[in-house]
A and B are shown apart, each in its own frame.
Chain A
């Protein structure tokens, strides 16, 4: 496989060539026949709802019906709502812990798996299994995995001589249980993408460095890490964006509890919307999350823009 920068150049060159070839029949309207259905679809199903959400956010609701125009009232509540701040803090903690662990574990495993081993394709297939295991089902299975008496996790802890913690009934341990399932599910994602990146690295650089007498750690520090940097930034970005949306696992594993200990942002907003029918405020909360995610993207996107252009 060609390295990422090589692919980039290649695709750029192809794009230019096509551009020149197509300029002759620019009036060709067939191209809109291909493009427009998807564009119209997305405008109808995302742009229109977004505008509708903006509209809703200016109103207070009562029993799911528009009550009155309150201008920026819902935005003001964002600053004073202690429960919202709690949910945001829980989510930030969740994101920080899970993404850090997933990055380290996934990249570490990719480095270990990245060599000729017996049955490599089978191992890789096994590692992809968690990615599409229905998250809400994993949360539900987690109730049995983290069962306090005789659950397999606590049985293992007891066997190793530890004190089994009260996973799901304790506000300190419940978030950790949620995090562990998320880590189980998404470490393979970091692993697979990092492994794909590692296998695309050019071999001759390593040969040359070894001739120069570089040690294994030097190879890693001065060749692998810099070459992998764009991919690692990309994985980080995708994981951060995805982790902030967390909803399924806490919904089924802990229902946000005990108390509010695992009530993540999306769960809080969902409840504002469809348990308390405070539609306007829920829409406003949705925008706050969008703003947070957008800030993260804009902070990281510059670093990986070159990589992204591959997908033009």
Chain B
């Protein structure tokens, strides 16, 4: 869009708004961080700068990380996120390639794509009961596997949409050339097309990872002990320990830093992922 000439006053107002917006966005993270390194008594004082205003401590981090439940939950969250993201990226990439390179009739390519995308529109709470009953039936209640299967299902639209767009942008001549040289469809896919969409592949995987890590409703419904991930630990924490600001800070950061940092790495793809491909960032 065209750059507009702005007056000095305009620039000032504009700068103030930008600063307020950034402060508003960043404050909760800073608040969690600062509390996580304060001594308990210090958390009730309005001090903001570590070292200068108070002596920082890592004792809450070490004691929180020494709790077996927390260790277990971090491990569970990691396994669920990696398992679900990997599964959904594999399934989604194959489907994306099919939608980008082949012609389907009844249902058409467009119909198939909308059908994949519609999975993100369903209210998850609708699935709580059937999944609970089915998982109980097949003995996957309170297992990491159960949650991997579910999260793979609900993140599947992301790789489908991100990668079908990337495959479409790739000239099909490259694969055709490989096929003239004697490669099969599969070989052309694995050796020519797939390496060329590697950035999108990684981005889709990362976004699935972040979504699966953050998922709460199914994690809460389908676990009660051995498969509990971080979001469920956090939701129950208030009642087991009361609200201690320093532990809140540690737990909140332990839970939300991994997906937040990962998502920054996939930043270029966030907009198209979250708008189901309709808008490219």
Interface residues of A (CB under 8 A from B): 1, 4, 7, 11, 14-15, 18-19, 21-23, 26, 28, 30-35, 37-39, 41-42, 45-46, 48-50, 52-53, 56, 109, 112-117, 123-141, 143-145, 147, 150, 152, 155, 184, 188-189, 192-193, 196-201, 203, 206-207, 210, 216, 224, 231, 234-235, 238, 241, 244-245, 247-248, 251-252, 265-266, 269-270, 273-274, 279, 282-283, 285-287, 289-290, 293, 297, 304, 307-312
Contacts and interface: CB of A to CB of B under 8 A. Distances in A.
B81 to A, nearest CB: 11
A172 B121 CA distance: 30
Contact of A297 (B21, B109, B121, B150): B121
A246 to B, nearest CB: 10
Given A23-B103, A132-B210, A201-B1, A193 B123 contact: no
A109 B21 contact: yes
A19 B103 contact: yes
A137 B231 contact: yes
B6 to A, nearest CB: 8
Interface in B100-120: 101-104, 109-110, 112-117, 119
Nearest to A309: B110
5 contacts: A28-B185, A31-B102, A192-B270, A273-B128, A274-B128
B264 interface: yes
Given A207-B2, A234-B279, A286-B129, A37 B29 contact: no
B252 to A, nearest CB: 5
Contact of B91 (A37, A128, A252): A37
A34 B98 contact: yes
Given A133-B260, A274-B128, A144 B245 contact: yes
A188 B126 contact: no
Nearest to A282: B129
A56 B262 contact: no
Contacts of B132: 273-274, 279
Nearest to A56: B129
B24 A38 contact: no
Given A53-B129, A137-B252, A46 B153 contact: yes
Contact of A50 (B130, B262, B279): B130
A101 B91 CA distance: 37
Contacts of A31: 98, 101-102, 104
Instruction: Say what secondary structure dominates the interface of chain A.
Output: helix
A240 to B, nearest CB: 10
B177 interface: no
B217 A143 contact: no
A274 B221 contact: yes
Q: Lowest 7 A-B CB distances belong to which pairs?
A: A286-B126, A311-B277, A34-B98, A49-B130, A38-B95, A31-B102, A35-B98
A176 to B, nearest CB: 16
Nearest to A241: B121
A18 B103 contact: yes
B127 A49 contact: yes
Contacts of B113: 311-312
A310 B92 contact: no
Given A19-B103, A196-B279, A113 B125 contact: no
A31 B186 CA distance: 10
A34 B102 contact: yes
Contacts of B122: 46, 290
A196 B277 CA distance: 12
Contacts of A46: 119, 122, 127, 153
Contact of B25 (A50, A115, A129, A134): A129
Given A112-B18, A135-B216, A312-B110, A42 B248 contact: no
B263 interface: yes
B50 interface: no
A245 B124 contact: yes
